[in-house]
Amino acid sequence: MRSAGFLSESQRRLAWVGFLLAAFQAPLAANLIDDASWLFAVVVAMVVATVILADDAQRRRPAQVEAE
């Protein structure tokens, strides 16, 4: 049996939506805005991607069986 990650299914889905929105917003903002504030969207997308990857890694681990 596989262990569950630390995100629920709805949190995982929301994280993916947040990642995609931030990833698409960054290049649009870079074209429309003269300053470097679009970099914040890149950082947010990277943090959300890290959380998704960590959750993925925890889900792929086999469940630990307690010793009796």
pLDDT in tens, 50-65: 999 999 999 888 877 6
Which of these, 40, 52, 46, lies nearest to 13 by C-alpha position?
A: 52
Q: ∠ CA(7), CA(10), CA(15), 5° rounding?
A: 65
Tell me: the pLDDT tens digits for 5-35? 889 999 999 999 999 999 999 889 889 988 8
Enumerate the domain spans of the chain. Answer: 9-60
Confidence of residue 66 (pLDDT cuts 50, 70, 90): low
Q: In whole angstroms, how far apart are CA 64 and each of 2, 49, 50, 56?
A: 9, 26, 24, 16
pTM: 0.78
